[in-house]
Structure 1
């Protein structure tokens, strides 16, 4: 597969961010193909999952996180 990076650079920053999100989402749909985690990473993920399950109210929706990040970037 060949991707023309010059064409990708023509996209706006917002469009490239959306593309990166879409690519990541497509990777997440195939977890068996994702490189393995170290034992320490797996343990940390399990710890974070248990913490979230014990108090789900601490989670922040992605839309809110993204909006805050975009507002920090300011106009470009």
Structure 2
């Protein structure tokens, strides 16, 4: 099967099925040491400043230049 031969709807369905299969096995996925360190750094930063970031409407407005 070639991806170019699939319709857009078929590609979306395939992508969803692929993602679902990965999500079903998420306990098997291991983070690298660098990824763990980055997550720990981000968590420590959040715990320090409690900055929860921006809500979706604010982010969307920034993207759209509103």
User: Which bin holds the TM-score, normalised by the shorter protein?
Assistant: 0.3 to 0.5
Higher relative contact order (CA 8 A, sep 6+): 2
TM-score by length of 2: 0.47
Choose 1 or 2 for highest CA Rg: 2
TM-score of the two chains, using structure 1 as the length reference: 0.43
